[in-house]
């Protein structure tokens, strides 16, 4: 089983600014100011996770990096909204949370603020924000990379989505990872066959 230190070092090696969170927490801080102290310095990361080996990983957003957070629960089902857009988005890394939410990682060429409820069940973590990184655990359940793809640069579809330019038709796309892995045509074909049989 890969240690949290290894996960933290992987983020730092990719030049993400990271910081430790308290064990089993998404928000409880260890540092005085994660915004000022988050770093990609490998020595500092090793120091933190040797002192706090079970600390969760906070991944700072902003400065050219955003995360689209898609909730998946009875109260806030962002998947239904995301289905209208995902086919137009570039393939990118996806982290899944213990609650089965999606984190879509994108590089951006402009400052993007944090948006809460940009759409129902969807938020953006941008300037001044953070997400919990892969390898972290809540109640024994892990955050994990469900699609280990290179992090993509946001395209016009992503920017339109953030700017609420709703111009793409709704599609039934239920499994983002499978679609991204090259099974999109087979998947859409099966959906159409099922529709025709009804």
Say which CATH number the domain at 159 has. 3.30.2250
Q: Per the structure, how many domains does the chain have?
A: 1
CA distance 99 to 64: 27
**Within a domain: 127:** yes
**Within a domain: 2:** no
**Within a domain: 132:** yes
| pLDDT at position 24 | 97
pLDDT tens-digit series, residues 84-138:
899 999 999 999 999 999 999 999 999 999 999 899 899 999 999 999 999 999 9
| pLDDT at position 47 | 98
DSSP-derived secondary structure letter, 31: S
Burial string for 40-49 (b: 16+ CB within 10 Å, else e) reads beeeebeebb
**Within a domain: 8:** no
Q: Is the pLDDT of residue 37 over 80?
A: yes
**Within a domain: 29:** no
Residues with Cβ within 8 Å of 189's Cβ and at least 6 positions away in sequence, in order, are none
CA distance 92 to 186: 20
What domain range includes position 102? 61-197
Could you give the 3-state DSSP secondary structure of residue 118? Answer: strand
Note whether 152 and 91 are within 8 A (CB).
yes
Residues with Cβ within 8 Å of 39's Cβ and at least 6 positions away in sequence, in order, are 12, 17, 18, 19, 45
182 vs 34, which has greater pLDDT? 34
Could you give the 3-state DSSP secondary structure of residue 81? Answer: helix
**Within a domain: 140:** yes
**Within a domain: 20:** no
**Within a domain: 10:** no
81 vs 124, which has greater pLDDT? 124
């Amino acid at each position: 089983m890969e240690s949290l230190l290894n996960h933290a070092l992987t983020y730092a090696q990719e030049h993400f600014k990271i910081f430790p969170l308290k064990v089993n927490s998404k928000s409880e801080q260890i540092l005085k100011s994660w915004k000022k102290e988050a770093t990609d310095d490998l020595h500092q990361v090793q120091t933190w996770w040797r002192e706090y080996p079970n600390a969760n990983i906070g991944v700072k957003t902003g400065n050219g990096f955003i995360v689209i957070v898609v909730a998946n629960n009875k109260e806030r089902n962002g998947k239904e909204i995301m289905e209208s857009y995902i086919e137009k988005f570039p393939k990118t890394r996806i982290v899944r949370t213990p609650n089965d939410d999606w984190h879509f990682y994108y590089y951006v060429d402009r400052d993007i603020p944090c948006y809460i409820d940009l759409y129902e069940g969807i938020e953006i973590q941008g300037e001044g924000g953070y997400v919990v990184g892969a390898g972290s655990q809540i109640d024994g359940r892990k955050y994990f990379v469900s699609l280990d793809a290179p992090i993509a640069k946001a395209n016009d579809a992503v920017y339109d989505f953030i700017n609420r330019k709703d111009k793409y038709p709704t599609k039934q796309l239920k499994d983002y990872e499978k679609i991204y892995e090259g099974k999109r045509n087979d998947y859409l074909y099966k959906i159409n066959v099922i529709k025709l049989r009804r």
